[in-house]
Amino acid sequence: MNRTYNKLAFFSVSAALFLMGCGSTALVSTPVENIDAVPLKVSELTEAEKKHWGHLDLIADTIPGMSVDKAYNEIIRNKKGKTVVVAVLDSGMDLDHEDLNGVLWTNSDEIPNNGKDDDGNGYVDDIHGYNFLGDSYNEQLEYVRMLRLNIGDASERAEARLLLDKEYPEAVQNKQQYEQIFQVVKGADELVRNELGKEDYTKEDLLSIEPKTAQMEQSVAVLTQMFTYGDSIPDVLDELEEGIKYFSEQANYNLNKDFNGRAPVGDDPYDITDVPYGNGNPKNMVESESHGTHVAGIIAAKRNNGIGMDGVANNVEIMSIRAVPNGDEYDKDIALGIRYAVDNGASIINCSFGKSFSPKAEWVYDAITYAASKDVLIVHAAGNDGENLEVPENRNYPNDDMESDQEFVDNVITVGALSSNYGSEMVASFSNYGKQRVDVFAPGAEIYSTMPNREYEFQGGTSMAAPAVAGVAALIRSFHPDLSASQVKNIIMQSGLRTTRSVIVAGDETKSTTFDKISKSGKMVNAYNALILANNISNGKTTLESNSK
């Protein structure tokens, strides 16, 4: 379950609350290399920049975007390239979204809704992808399932028991605290609105009140504190409600040892031979199942249509594979989802998920190896725990090293997340990092993208950084289909922007380090540079380095 929830900090209530076409094209452009002289941005991002910062250019905009706009303006222009199928292995997706319905992969060999496997691929009615979760949605974390079903070795179960004994009471306590804070803020807000005689008010309006009672004095103090967490009190109340929902789901589903979220599917999720299961409808079940929709938009939302936002890639078909529930994904679903994507024409698979326990990891490793044998690139999110993945106990599955020091394939690229704030704080505080186990960094904090029901919203996580890189990979494979998955991976790593600046990791100033020490490449992904290098590799003008340094 690779998602981030940015909890509000709070105090106790008693303390007042807390380039080209498919052929070769001569380039006049040159790659950008020296960026350490770029001045730090001192002004706030405009609303337009906030919604589009991942596409902007560090040199021109002093924002650590991927130079996507520059790549289109100076290299791609009106060229379209070859259509690339990108599988989004994720939660369900809003297949009717105005910015996505024109870029969906369609299985033309399957007749919709006739209950038959017309193309003989083993999946019935898989028009736009497949749903390995059936009618299930809420799920336990993997280590909780291991305890419920008594699977895994004894040492893993002992570790799981200690973890559950710690995390379940914390979830219940956090839920209760958020509920208490919500009620206090809601009551204070109602009192102040009545005092001011208006529904909407600013911090300045609030501070203009001269309290005549202790209750009003406390309400003003509470709301003043809350204005440090949001631009308005309704925003803060929305955030608190999100917190209540998040911790309620943890207590009721993710960490509830007695919950069985798989029951509606009907298969044995720990028997990979127990097939078929699921159905051909990979659409999101509920509005809050939004992760896959958001990820898909980052990759391929229709460009230049005057609505919403633009995806990174301009000639992509999105294959929706529903395999990530509201909890930890099953190894079986991920392994079969990867194989489904490979067998049905995807050349890139975006995997914005991760977990700390993987009792059937070998199934996923086999699927990754299969993808490598078919020249399919896998883009994986590094995870949102702010941890150094080089530390053995900070596991993040799936991976491409089987918990060793050596990668067993060269078709997986693991992505950490950047914020829009170039300088010491440009590494997103939630992002995992690692000199060997994270390959590159890309925009991932506060990314604006598609949401169910024709909505758009900001979300943050390495889940958002991975599809940004998948979009760049799609551009390369579109204009240079001769390049292999391994070449595309290494082009992305070697063409990125390098900086010698010191950065803060995990939001902890005591963990400041140089940027080159937190990923294998030591670089930020740059679409402009990547297309130049891809062109040069494709035309034999240069060769890739022997290693990804």
Quick: pLDDT tens for 458-496. Answer: 999 999 999 999 999 999 999 999 999 999 999 999 999
Which domains, and CATH codes, for the chain?
Answer: 51-138+268-538 (3.40.50.200), 158-254 (no CATH)
Query: Is pLDDT of 26 > 90?
Result: no
Confidence bin at 544 (pLDDT 50/70/90): confident
Please tell me the pTM assigned to this model.
Answer: 0.92
Q: What's the mean pLDDT in 388-396?
A: 94
Half-sphere exposure of 92 (CA within 13 A, CB side): 26
pLDDT in tens, 271-281: 999 999 999 99
Query: Is pLDDT of 412 > 90?
Result: yes
pLDDT in tens, 51-98: 999 999 999 999 999 999 999 999 999 998 999 999 999 999 999 999
pLDDT in tens, 106-140: 999 999 999 999 999 999 999 999 999 999 999 99
Query: Is pLDDT of 229 > 50?
Result: yes
Q: What is the average pLDDT score of the chain?
A: 92
Query: Is pLDDT of 40 > 50?
Result: yes
| SS3 category, 438 | coil
Indicate the pairing of strand 440-443 with strand 447-451: unpaired
Confidence bin at 43 (pLDDT 50/70/90): confident
Joined together, the tokens standing for residue 536 give 């040069």
Query: Is pLDDT of 375 > 70?
Result: yes
Phi first, then psi: what are they for 520, rounded to 5°?
-65, -40
| Neighbour tally for 25: CB within 10 Å | 14
DSSP string computed for 213-242: SHHHHHHHHHHHHHTTT-SSHHHHHHHHHH
Q: What pLDDT is attached to residue 542? A: 82
Query: Is pLDDT of 10 > 70?
Result: no
User: Letter for the amino acid at 134?
Assistant: G
Burial of 516 from C-beta contacts in 10 A (0-12 / 13-18 / 19+): middle
Confidence bin at 2 (pLDDT 50/70/90): very low
Q: What's the mean pLDDT in 202-228?
A: 96
E strand intervals along 132-246: none
User: Letter for the amino acid at 75?
Assistant: I
Instruction: Give the strand order in the sheet containing 84-90.
Output: 129-131, 316-322, 84-90, 348-351, 377-381, 412-418, 440-443, 523-524, 497-498
DSSP string computed for 442-475: EE-SSEEEEETTTEEEEE-SHHHHHHHHHHHHHH
Joined together, the tokens standing for residue 175 give 């839920």
Q: What pLDDT is attached to residue 181? A: 96
| Neighbour tally for 436: CB within 10 Å | 14
For residue 45, give every residue at least 6 positions away whose Cβ sits within 8 Å of its Cβ, in sequence order, or none. 53, 63, 420
Choose among 96, 86, 124, 131: nearest CA to 323.
Answer: 131
Q: What pLDDT is attached to residue 547? A: 53
Q: What pLDDT is attached to residue 28? A: 36
Q: What pLDDT is attached to residue 33? A: 60
* In the chain, % of residues over pLDDT 90: 88
Q: What pLDDT is attached to residue 39? A: 77
pLDDT in tens, 316-336: 999 999 999 999 999 999 999
Query: Is pLDDT of 15 > 70?
Result: no
Confidence bin at 30 (pLDDT 50/70/90): low
Measured CA distances, 53 to 310, 420, 444 (Å): 11, 7, 10
Q: What pLDDT is attached to residue 38? A: 77
Q: What pLDDT is attached to residue 17? A: 36
Phi first, then psi: what are they for 88, rounded to 5°?
-105, 100
Which residues are identified as catalytic? 90, 291, 463
Preceding peptide of 282 cis, ω within 30°: no
CA 338 from chain centre, in angstroms, equals 17
pLDDT in tens, 158-193: 999 999 999 999 999 999 999 999 999 999 999 999
The residue written with tokens 């460009």 in the block is 303
Query: Is pLDDT of 8 > 80?
Result: no
Separation of alpha carbons 60 and 67, rounded Å: 9
Preceding peptide of 211 cis, ω within 30°: no
Identify the top-confidence range among 9-13, 23-27, 187-191. Answer: 187-191
| SS3 category, 419 | coil
